[in-house]
């Protein structure tokens, strides 16, 4: 299985936040959602509204690493729960 690194960006104060989670800890439904995000071709449309977050997700595994950008409304809750605020 792979490890996911998640970095939150944007928002009103643009405070840094990040986290990590092993994919094997995700439910089958969450793993499917993550796989669909990584399989998507092109850029996902940004969430509507001001001061929204975007997330950079990096999947690291035996095959190497791949990074994608995901708007906050497309991020699975399990990944959102792994992200913690960091003081600058």
**Three-state secondary structure along the chain?**
CCEEEEEEEECCCCCCEEEEEEHHHCCHHHHHHHHHHHHCCCCCCCCCCCCCEEEEEEEEECCEEEEEEEEHHHCCHHHHCCCEECCC
Phi/psi of residue 73, nearest 5 degrees: -75, -5
Residue-wise pLDDT for 30-86, tens only, equals 999 999 999 988 777 776 776 788 899 999 998 899 999 999 999 999 999 999 987
pTM: 0.85
Higher-confidence residue of 44 and 6: namely 6
* The predicted structure's pLDDT at residue 51: 73
* The predicted structure's pLDDT at residue 48: 72
């Amino acid at each position: 299985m792979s490890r996911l690194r998640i970095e939150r960006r944007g928002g009103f104060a643009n405070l840094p936040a990040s986290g990590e989670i092993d994919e094997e800890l995700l439910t089958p439904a969450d793993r499917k959602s993550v796989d669909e995000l990584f399989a998507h071709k092109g850029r996902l449309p940004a969430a509507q509204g001001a001061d929204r977050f975007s997330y950079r997700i990096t999947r690291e595994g035996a095959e190497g690493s791949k990074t994608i950008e995901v708007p906050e409304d497309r991020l699975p809750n399990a990944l959102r729960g792994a992200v913690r605020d960091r003081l600058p």
